[in-house]
Amino acid sequence: MARTSAEAGEVVRVTEPSDEMTPFEAATFFFHETADRLGLADEMRQVLATSYRELAVQIPIRMDKGKIEVFRGFRIQHNGARGPYKGGIRFHESADLDEVRALAALMTWKNALIDVPFGGAKGGVQCEPGLLSEGEKERLTRRFTTMISYIIGVNRDIPAPDMGTNAQTMAWMMDSYGQKMGYTPGIVTGKPVELGGSPGREEATGRGVVMCTMHSARKRDMKPEECGIAIQGFGNVGYWTAALAAEEGCKILAVSDVGGGIYNPKGLDLEALVKHQREAMSVTNFPDGEAVTNDELLELPCDILIPAAIEGVITGENADRIQARMIVEAANGPTTPVADRVLSGRGIAVVPDILANAGGVTVSYFEWVQNIQQFRWELDTVNKELQKRMTTATESVFERSRADGTSLRDAAFDIAVERVAHAAHLRGYV
Ligand code: NAD
């Protein structure tokens, strides 16, 4: 069911946070608090609180059984002051205008914070990808690409994978775009390596999450290699976060997918779990652990909690019961503004999404650079460059938080919004 959305260009501001806020209201709540702290002029606030361009499209496709079904899709370009618009495409039932708008704005802040020369965008198709055949997914992707082809481009707007989409989806997008415009590998990132994708892109978001988690834990005087971690979501980001954190010596105590979770206080055997997931199409019913719900997973005893699925899961209702000492937001927007205040009051560090999951877009940037230069980097170069950027951004957020006495989220938003506002001013937007 679609949420009611504000008009395009309308400034949305909810001053008293509640768990009933929509994703866009929650994202703009954090922005307005930042604008207040920075003393942004009203015109600048209006430019940065709203999207630059919003495209909503109908996507009729023929289903395998012969019937035509009409899906809704969106491409939202939030702000392009620092470079071409950049952000993933989400296939999910909740991907409505409000959610995609929120995610587009978060991309602007994330790209500024990690300091890649991109603005922010996001796309979405409201569908249940698990119920679609490969053929239906391909037709949906190709038609959606055609519908948004007027506003994307290598120097204009570059999509990537997000929830419900993957390297194959990007290959179809690149092919559809190329049929009209000629061979254009830089039109999307997160492509298969054989088609010009970057080595290391598939695991980049999880790798960045782990780099940021290790760094942040040390900053909080925790020994990360001795930490027990619970992870919600076991898709691209959740899986790679688990696998790479385990390589660092962390114990993965619990993971989940949409069907539920699995918990073992002694640590899960990831290799066996992945085998089980491949056969059963879910992590649920894994024999070597105790079944937990997605809600229970968030409240398990652990050192570090990593939400890596959907937004709005840590709320005013459960924030009091979270036992982790640190939360690392691998998902976008998993903590509501109400929960954020509760956690801050309890001294639980929240490493914000725009920092923690920025590894994906960073390697997407490397992929785009390689495509433009028609040159391939070695995996080792990609990972070293990623480490440099994650370290610099994490250090700057901790330093700003220490200097200003603010939370890590506030510090991250302050740095990001300042950079975008400065670029917008230099360009003469306001
Ligand atoms: P994915 O589709 O590969 O995996 C999503 C996982 O979440 C799956 O395990 C799925 O079963 C689970 N899930 C779906 N709905 C759920 C629900 N209602 N409750 C609990 N679990 C649920 O997606 P992904 O690419 O891993 O993305 C996960 C999160 O990370 C999203 O918030 C996305 O925006 C964010 N993110 C992804 C990337 C990327 O490069 N893929 C980059 C930055 C941020």
For every one of its 430 residues, what pLDDT tens digit does the chain have, with 9 covering 90 and above? Answer: 567 778 888 999 998 999 999 999 999 999 999 999 999 999 999 999 999 999 999 999 999 999 999 999 999 999 999 999 999 999 999 999 999 999 999 999 999 999 999 999 999 999 999 999 999 999 999 999 999 999 999 999 999 999 999 999 999 999 999 999 999 999 999 999 999 999 999 999 999 999 999 999 999 999 998 999 999 999 999 999 999 999 999 999 999 999 999 999 999 999 999 999 999 999 999 999 999 999 999 999 999 999 999 999 999 999 999 999 999 999 999 999 999 999 999 999 999 999 999 999 999 999 999 999 999 999 999 999 999 999 999 999 999 999 999 999 999 999 999 999 999 999 998 8
Vertex 235 angle, CA 229 and 241, to 5°: 35
Output the CA 145–ligand 1 centroid distance in Å: 22
Indicate if 122 belongs to the active site.
yes
Cα-to-centroid distance, 90 and ligand 1 (Å): 9
pLDDT score of 430 = 87
- Nearest ligand 1 atom, CA 160: 40
Q: How large is the angle between the packed helices 379-404 and 408-427, nearest 10 degrees? A: 100
CA of 235 to the centre of ligand 1 (A): 6
Query: Is any atom of ligand 1 closer than 6 Å to the C-beta of 163?
Result: yes
Judge if the beta carbon of residue 309 lies within 6 A of ligand 1. yes
pTM of the model: 0.96
Strands 157-161, 251-257: pairing is: unpaired
Ligand 1 atom with minimal separation from the 237 CA: 26
Chain centroid, CA 375 distance in Å: 27
pLDDT for the residue numbered 341: 96
Buried b (16+ CB within 10 A) or exposed e, 173-205: bbbbbeeeeeebbbbbbbbeeeebbbbbbbbbb
**Would you say the CB of residue 362 lies under 6 angstroms from ligand 1?**
no
Specify whether the CB–CB gap between 152 and 177 falls below 8 A.
yes
Ligand 1 mutation pick, 108, 127, 163, max ligand atoms within 8 A of CB: 163
Q: What is the sign of the dihedral through the CA atoms of 346, 408, 361 and 211?
A: negative
Instruction: Using alpha carbons, select from 344, 333, 416 the residue that is nearest to residue 38.
Output: 416
User: Measured from the CB, is residue 258 less than 6 Å from ligand 1?
Assistant: yes
Residue in 110, 122, 137, 251 annotated catalytic: 122
Report the nearest-CA residue for atom 17 of ligand 1. 258
DSSP characters over 107-130: HHHHHHHTT-S--EEEEEEES-GG
Report CA(303)–ligand 1 centroid distance (Å).
Answer: 22
Q: Which of 51, 98, 106 is nearest to 79 (CA)?
A: 51
Distance spanning both ends of the chain, measured CA to CA: 37
What pLDDT score was predicted for residue 9? 85
Regarding the beta carbon of 310 and ligand 1, being less than 6 Å apart is answered yes
- Ligand 1 lined by 203 (C-beta under 6 Å): no
* CB contact at 8 A, 354 and 110: yes
**Ligand 1 mean position, distance from CA 166 (Å):** 11
pLDDT of residue 246: 98
Of all protein residues, the one whose alpha carbon is nearest to atom 27 of ligand 1 is 163
Please indicate whether residue 359, judged by its CB atom, sits closer than 6 Å to ligand 1: no
Report whether residue 233 contacts ligand 1, using a CB cutoff of 6 Å.
Answer: yes
Distance 225 CA to ligand 1 centre (A): 25
**Best residue among 103, 198, 310 to mutate for probing ligand 1, ranked by most atoms within 8 Å of CB:** 310
CA 77/CA 51 separation, integer angstroms:
6
Residue 84 CA to residue 369 CA, distance in Å, equals: 13
Determine if ligand 1 sits within 6 Å of the CB of residue 205: yes
Q: Kindly state if the Cβ of 330 falls inside 6 Å of ligand 1.
A: yes
346 burial level (CB within 10 Å; 0-12, 13-18, 19+): exposed
Q: Count Cβ atoms below 10 Å from residue 257 Cβ, excluding itself.
A: 20
Q: Angle formed by the axes of helices 97-113 and 359-373, to 10°?
A: 80
pLDDT at 1: 54
179 Cα to the center of ligand 1, angstroms:
30
**In this structure, which residue's CA is closest to atom 29 in ligand 1?**
331
